[in-house]
Chains A and B, each alone.
Chain A
Amino acid sequence: MSANTASLTSKVRAIEAGGHVVVIHFVGDSAAIASGEGEVLIAGGEEALIKAHRGAILAAAGDGRRIFTAGDDGRLVATDAAGQVETLVDCGGKWIDQVALGPAGAIAWSVGKAAFTRTGKGERSIEAPSTVGGLAFAPKGMRLAIAHYNGVTLWFTNAEAKPETLAWKGSHLGVLFSPDGRFLITAMQEAALHGWRLADGQDMRMSGYPGRVRSLSFSADGDWLATSGAQEVILWPFRTRDGPMGKEPLMLAPGPKETRVTVVACHPQQAMFAAGYSDGMVLLVRMQDAAEAVVSQRAGAPVSALAWRGDGKLLAFGTENGKAGLLPL
């Protein structure tokens, strides 16, 4: 944080989220704040508090209209801005650990080792070699990436073809496609990322982090992958054919000593990102000149969620101790 950092804190509308903020997604114009207490708080317009789950919300995805939350009560539910709740899956108390949304309304979720998809053509499932660490749909086509121990399984969910495996030793806990679909990146149990160039399966190692990487976000133009896990936001270049191979990452927006970046979220249109830190600080950072603005001061607990509204005019954040806020831009 540099000396001449601007402050936007007076523009923030503070919100009490009530529990550990797990994920935030926008539903219409409002933010849907999913908490460890199983609640979805609709904030920003008509406010509503929906008890979506009996236990904690473990994961969530959003399509801009509804938030899809997976809980340790074994349910997957969709909630819209009006507070309408639809139960999509109920698997009787087994934890639903992961959820992802794909093209044409496709949805995927996982229960332990089993990954499920529901598309216009019905429901299918596949058993991963170990617990599913992450799920992501490719930007185009009905192709699901399933992260697990020792690699990623790529599965065409509507085809009979045998799933393909991208192998890399270690436990893969999160997975993300680049917006152009050329690269697949995983966050590992080790303090590192792994990536594959999908055209030829070329491996890419992205390491050097002091801690586990829990948050990944591509810039709007797809040129940069912003990541958490270090004292600074680490941005890997993805513009060229080789991606970040053999290149140094950018390191921006260092937090105070002994803090770590916990969440990153790139702006949906502009070359700008929001970063949340382990001391509760939220910064807004412009990429070309690394100019910073403080969105929220230290809240005393790590920032656990960040989200941009689709039009890029509203930023939402939340922390592990239930503090949340909205910043209009």
Chain B
Amino acid sequence: MPEKIPVTVLTGYLGAGKTTLLNRILSEPHGKKYAVIVNEFGEIGIDNDLVVGADEEVFEMNNGCICCTVRGDLIRILDGLLKRRGRFDGILIETTGLADPAPVAQTFFLDDTVGGRTALDAVVTVVDAKWLRERLRDAPEAKDQIGFADIILLNKTDLVTPEELREVELRIRAINPYAKIHRTQRCDMPVQSLLGQGAFDLQRILSIEPEFLAREEHDEHDHDHHGGHGHHHHNGGLKHYHDEDMQSLSLKSDKPLDPDKFLPWINDLVAREGPKILRCKGILAFKDDPQRFVLQGVHMVLDGDHQRDWKSDEKRESRLVFIGRELDAAAIEQGFLACVA
């Protein structure tokens, strides 16, 4: 099979700076060619035959699952783009400021052609450092976009004080401790640091450790984050937020799991709680299995596969993280621990 084309999904609330970023990606001399699927043609000031307009058509899958949605327009556009493969290095999909990233992400799991030829590389969310706190209060979409992100561009950092910036980062961490945060002004990130990162790719998940604040700010942090809900309280004087609405949950076991217990449990969990679970990721050590099993999920859609052999010097440890709303942490943890072989 030829290598899959990496796809980056670009989200962000209205005015956060997505268009600035897109224009940079399209105009900078980075030597790569990207097909860009935009929702608003007029905003892109560049004439390029690889810029395609999308309609944001969210289609429910006819399988009785309310959160199994796909972007019908994307399936059509990606199908078309794939007919002339070899002409671009990656695909970038812009979503509107109010869009839910789930249908876009699920399209890569639920459509066999799209999933077979392209791979979701990362969900990149652009966040406005100045207005994020207000948006988190009044816009559930803004929170979803952060919950979904693999990479967050904390943009417009020049418009806030260092203290405000730190507070915004803590707010983001309270929702999503796993995304990589880059501080930017006018989205001034090298394109190579955003695209082709493999952040969403099952085959390349190396670590799902929480991403803490920059080192100089958290020397006192406890790196052992197991069992936490993203709201550890530390002694070093750093404030930690607990988001009322959205939480992350990190589970860990150093005893091997029984796949015959774990797989039915996780399938049942996402079938019941899928609407509340935005993302889940896991690296699992099954009993008598020399290979790592990696797992990715969006709402009720799960995708898991053996990745590679455990290395001899690697700790055979299972880790599973969830980001979602109103997660019943105690019940999920209990269920997970019951899967120990």
Q: Hey, which bits of chain A sit against chain B, CB under 8 A?
A: 19-20, 22, 36-38, 54-58, 72-73, 93-95, 97, 112-113, 130-131, 133, 149, 169-171, 188-190, 192, 211-212, 214
Complex: how many Å from CA A130 to CA B58? 10
A38 / chain B contacts, CB cutoff of 8 Å: 84
Instruction: Report the nearest B residue to A168, measured CB to CB.
Output: B62
What are 10 A-B interface contacts by the 8 Å CB criterion? Answer: A37-B84, A55-B49, A57-B83, A95-B77, A170-B60, A171-B70, A188-B62, A189-B70, A190-B62, A212-B112
Whether the pair B84, A55 counts as a contact (CB closer than 8 A) is yes
A54 / chain B contacts, CB cutoff of 8 Å: 49
B23 at the interface (CB under 8 A from A): no
Q: Hey, which bits of chain B sit against chain A, CB under 8 A?
A: 49, 52-53, 55, 57, 59-63, 70, 72-73, 75-77, 80-85, 111-113
Whether the pair A189, B111 counts as a contact (CB closer than 8 A) is yes
Whether the pair B55, A113 counts as a contact (CB closer than 8 A) is yes
Q: In the complex, what's the smallest C-beta–C-beta distance from B64 to chain A, in angstroms?
A: 10
Q: In the complex, what's the smallest C-beta–C-beta distance from B254 to chain A, in angstroms?
A: 36
Whether the pair A149, B57 counts as a contact (CB closer than 8 A) is yes
A73 / chain B contacts, CB cutoff of 8 Å: 49
Contacts A22-B83, A56-B83 given; does A130 touch B57 at CB 8 Å: yes
B111 / chain A contacts, CB cutoff of 8 Å: 189, 212
Whether the pair A97, B57 counts as a contact (CB closer than 8 A) is no
Contacts A93-B49, A131-B55 given; does A56 touch B80 at CB 8 Å: yes
Contacts A189-B75, A212-B113 given; does A95 touch B61 at CB 8 Å: no
Q: In the complex, what's the smallest C-beta–C-beta distance from A129 to chain B, in angstroms?
A: 10
B59 / chain A contacts, CB cutoff of 8 Å: 130, 149, 170-171, 189
Complex: how many Å from CA A150 to CA B77? 19
Q: Which of B60, B73, B75, B76 has the most chain A CB atoms closer than 10 A to its own CB?
A: B76
Whether the pair B57, A20 counts as a contact (CB closer than 8 A) is no
Contacts A20-B84, A20-B85, A131-B76 given; does A190 touch B49 at CB 8 Å: no
Q: In the complex, what's the smallest C-beta–C-beta distance from B93 to chain A, in angstroms?
A: 16
Complex: how many Å from CA A209 to CA B266? 25
Q: In the complex, what's the smallest C-beta–C-beta distance from B62 to chain A, in angstroms?
A: 3
Q: Which of B53, B80, B81, B82 has the most chain A CB atoms closer than 10 A to its own CB?
A: B80
A130 / chain B contacts, CB cutoff of 8 Å: 55, 57, 59, 72
Whether the pair B76, A97 counts as a contact (CB closer than 8 A) is yes
Complex: how many Å from CA A95 to CA B53? 9
Complex: how many Å from CA A37 to CA B82? 11
B82 / chain A contacts, CB cutoff of 8 Å: 20
Taking A57-B83, A112-B55 as known contacts, 7 extra A-B pairs with beta carbons closer than 8 A to each other, sorted by chain A number, are A22-B83, A37-B84, A97-B80, A130-B55, A170-B62, A189-B59, A212-B111
Complex: how many Å from CA A54 to CA B50? 12
Q: Which 4 A-B pairs have the closest CB atoms?
A: A36-B83, A170-B62, A56-B84, A56-B83
Whether the pair B84, A131 counts as a contact (CB closer than 8 A) is no
Partner pick for B72 among A56, A57, A189, A214, CB 8 A cutoff: A189
Instruction: Report the nearest A residue to B75, measured CB to CB.
Output: A189
Instruction: Report the nearest A residue to B62, measured CB to CB.
Output: A170
Contacts A93-B49, A131-B76 given; does A190 touch B63 at CB 8 Å: yes
Complex: how many Å from CA A38 to CA B112? 25
Contacts A171-B59, A190-B62 given; does A36 touch B85 at CB 8 Å: yes
Instruction: Report the nearest A residue to B73, measured CB to CB.
Output: A131
